[in-house]
Amino acid sequence: MTIANLKSLIREKLLYVNLSLKNKKKETI
């Protein structure tokens, strides 16, 4: 795995986590 692949993977995971956190906040409100 190249560093570029790793960076994109981490970016995707961060985006996914941010989206899921936003969804959870919407559900609680």
How do residues 1-29 score in pLDDT, each as one tens digit?
699 999 999 999 999 999 999 888 877 75
What whole-number distance in Å separates Cα of residue 22 and Cα of residue 11? Answer: 17
Hey, is 9 helix, strand or coil?
A: helix
Domain boundaries, the chain: 1-29
